[in-house]
Amino acid sequence: MQPNTLLDALLDEAGISNAGLAARVNHAGRARGLALRYEHTAVARWLKGQRPRGRVPDLICEVLADRLQRPVTLGDIGLGVPGEAPPAPGTPLSGFVERATALWRSDEQQRRHLLQAPAVTGTPAVMPVWEWENPPEDADVSRAGRTRVSMSDIKMLRAARAHYELMYRRAGGVATRSRVVGFLNAETAPLLRGGYSDALGRQLHRAAGGLVAVAGICAYDSDAHGLAQRYFHQALRLAKASGDRGLGAYVIALLVNQALFMAEYRQAVAFAEAALRGAGREITPALAADLHAMQAKAYAHLGDGSSALRCIRRAEREAERISPGTEPDETGYVQPGLVNVQVAEALLSLGDLPAAREHAAVAVDAPAHDRGRVHRLAMLSQIELRQGEAERAASTAAEMAERARGMESQRLRDRLRAVRRHLAASGCTDAEEAAELIDGALRVPL
């Protein structure tokens, strides 16, 4: 059950509260001989994704059409025919744009039912990846809108993506999410609804897709996994419309990372394969290295050591081919040492501590942005503890805590807490001081 952001957006546009909609639906029902007694709690359930019974969906359309002075269909309120297949990727994008922008609007308004929605699993989780990889393609993405989109608009979106990505790396996703979502609503939505040719539209959808992906990253970093997944699915649809297979593979890499976090290891392997296969020659060495490294982590968790080692070798070969300045902006996160820390985690799961330590040390010594360095230090500290070097681990953890101070990130908080627990269990003399530094970093309000 997924939040009904289309209904939420129309209620907001109409200026009708949950209680107001319930009262109007009851009144419209009485006019048809129906004894309805809905309250605001029922509307809250509809917004969470529950489908109203009987003729109520038609009554909601009637109430909203009367208020907005225009026709409103079941599809407009997110209550189309149950079981009806979603629009195919090759169909016009107008319906997708309305659904996507409704989600952004609800997110900016911090709707609780949206923020607390769980990530979908099974077929609903897999279908967006399958649709990206398979035909039909979008034959024409042009649109006739009142606002004419220009190349300067697309450059603005690209600059915004770079800006918010840098903000995320420095301050964390919790602090960045509201800003990037506000930008999506204020600047990106009007452009997607504007007028553009097919050629310009493909560039627009690519730029928007990169920005939406950052919104998904920030939602993931804020522990809003259902919301993050929906942003990633949107970014994947935009990537398909753009015709940029490399961008689509990058978005799938984000889904792979989320699948690993949620312990969906077989899905992580399958998604990575789809990205590598679907992007073909358009995949870059940096992205291929990251996908193979994440596959190695998934196989290691599944206990398949031979497949994990095979993926590690592939990741290392691709990493050697990375040429600075030739990668797209989105893969800039694959900095020196990133593959090493991914490999270290896989080797740690396989129980090869010396090799894991070697890779983690290389990762820590390589240049990285602040957020990446915190994760690398956390991994090294964990390995040092496993090797019985508690005092060295405490020193590494102290540096990690200092670098994490001021960042608003749920994922970093998870790493800090895990390191603190392991240090406390070690009983070493320096553990208490390191724990105090970690506690100080954790005091940043989220």
Condensed to tens digits (0 to 9), the pLDDT of residues 247-270 reads 999 999 999 999 999 999 999 999
Read off the DSSP letter of residue 140: -
SS3 31: coil
- On whether the CB atoms of residues 136 and 90 are closer than 8 A, the answer is yes
pLDDT at residue 148 in the model: 95
Residue type, 429: T
SS3 302: coil
| CA dist., res. 282 & res. 276, Å (int) | 9
123: Cβ contacts below 8 Å, ≥ 6 apart: none
Which of the residue ranges 47-61, 94-108, 150-164 has the most confident prediction, judged by mean pLDDT? 150-164
Residue type, 83: G
pLDDT at residue 84 in the model: 44
Closest CA to 129 of 299, 286, 308, 276: 276
pLDDT at residue 78 in the model: 85
pLDDT at 383 over 70: yes
pLDDT at 332 over 70: yes
pLDDT cut 90: percent of the chain above it: 59
pLDDT at 22 over 90: yes
Closest CA to 355 of 312, 405, 322: 312
Beta bridge partners, 195, equal: 148
SS3 195: strand
pLDDT at residue 81 in the model: 58
159-163, 306-310, 429-433: lowest mean pLDDT where? 429-433
| Confidence category of residue 33, pLDDT binned at 50, 70, 90 | confident
pLDDT at residue 86 in the model: 44
Length of the chain equals 446
Residue listed under structure tokens 């289309």: 6
- On whether the CB atoms of residues 8 and 45 are closer than 8 A, the answer is no
pLDDT at residue 444 in the model: 60
SS3 196: strand
Q: How many helices (H) and strands (E) does the chain have?
A: 22, 0
pLDDT at residue 72 in the model: 84
pLDDT at residue 83 in the model: 42
| CA dist., res. 213 & res. 236, Å (int) | 8
Instruction: Please state the pTM of the whole predicted model.
Output: 0.85
| CA dist., res. 123 & res. 188, Å (int) | 30
| Confidence category of residue 1, pLDDT binned at 50, 70, 90 | low
| CA dist., res. 119 & res. 351, Å (int) | 31
pLDDT digits (tens, 9 = 90+) for 307-322: 999 999 999 999 999 9
pLDDT at residue 423 in the model: 85
pLDDT at 446 over 70: no
pLDDT at 430 over 80: no
Read off the DSSP letter of residue 187: I
pLDDT digits (tens, 9 = 90+) for 75-89: 888 887 554 444 444
CA 430 from centroid of its chain's CA atoms? 38
Residue listed under structure tokens 């995320």: 168
pLDDT at 194 over 80: yes
- As a whole number, the mean pLDDT across the chain is 90
| Tokens describing residue 414 | 């998870």
| Average pLDDT estimate for 34-49 | 90
SS3 17: coil
| Tokens describing residue 406 | 């001021």
Give, in degrees to the nearest 5, the angle at Cα 356 between 350 and 359: 140
| CA dist., res. 312 & res. 344, Å (int) | 10
pLDDT at residue 274 in the model: 97
pLDDT at residue 74 in the model: 86
pLDDT at residue 85 in the model: 41
| Confidence category of residue 219, pLDDT binned at 50, 70, 90 | very high
pLDDT digits (tens, 9 = 90+) for 234-247: 999 999 999 999 99
Helix (H) or strand (E) holding 136: none
pLDDT cut 70: percent of the chain above it: 96
